[in-house]
Amino acid sequence: MTDSGTRSTRPYLIRALYEWCTDNGLTPYVAVRVDDTVRVPREYVKDGEIVLNISMDATSALKLGNDYIEFKARFAGVARDIMIPLGRVMAIYARENGQGMAFPLDDPDAVGDAAAALSGPDAPSPADPDRVADLASEDAPEPPPRPSGPAGRPALKRVK
């Protein structure tokens, strides 16, 4: 809850955009800034970020809660439990057209710490930068690269 006693709009907007994607036959992706509070396979994290396909075909037991996104998914044939605090979700968008919404991080100071932790000597080897962790199956075709705007930063279209 915020200081004024109202709940954050973030979980409601994420659920709404997820529903919009599925209703329109689009594939919902979430971009996540990874830190110690995020439970994802570290071998798919690149530059402190991961992009995940959260469609019904790619996940099992998906819960879009008020505090976390939780689901089970397969990475290279291995089942994993995924848990993402909503404060670490940077964006939710449709893979096919890039339409969606970006969010500010809850703790922007932690971004540098997360990147440093992931680049240390014990860090897992990074994934191919053009590869998105596509959870539908091992042999699924590689999804298209993330939409990018000026300076290679993700660009999302505003949904009105």
Q: What is the pLDDT of residues 28-64, one digit of tens each?
A: 999 999 999 999 999 999 999 999 999 999 999 999 9
Contacts of 36 (CB under 8 A, 6+ apart): 114, 117
Q: Which amino acid is at 38?
A: V
Q: What is the mean pLDDT of residues 129-155?
A: 49
Q: What is the mean pLDDT of residues 64-70?
A: 96
pLDDT of res. 7 = 85
pLDDT of res. 127 = 38
pLDDT of res. 129 = 36
Query: What span, in angstroms and rounded, lies between the C-alpha atoms of 58 and 4?
Result: 37
Checking if the pLDDT of 158 tops 70, the result is no
Is residue 40 within 8 Å of 90, Cβ to Cβ? no
Q: What are phi and psi of 54, to 5 degrees?
A: -110, 25
What residue ranges do the domains of the chain occupy? 10-135
Q: What is the mean pLDDT of residues 5-19?
A: 93
Band (pLDDT 50/70/90 cuts) for residue 6 is confident
77-130: pLDDT as tens digits: 999 999 999 999 999 999 999 999 999 987 554 444 444 433 444 433 333 334
What does pTM read for this prediction? 0.66
pLDDT of res. 107 = 57
Record the tokens describing residue 22, joined without a space.
């599925």
DSSP string, the chain: --TTSPPPSHHHHHHHHHHHHHHTT--EEEEEE--TT-BS-GGG-BTTEEEEE-STTT-EEEEE-SSEEEEEEEETTEEEEEEEEGGGEEEEEETTT-EEEE---S-TTHHHHHHHHHTSTTSPPPPPTT--B--S-TTPPPPPPPPB-GGG-B--EEP-
- Of 3.30.450.80, 2.30.30.220, 2.40.30.10, 3.40.50.720, the CATH number of 10-135 is 2.30.30.220
Band (pLDDT 50/70/90 cuts) for residue 12 is very high
Query: Comparing 112 with 71, which gets the higher pLDDT?
Result: 71
Query: Comparing 156 with 31, which gets the higher pLDDT?
Result: 31
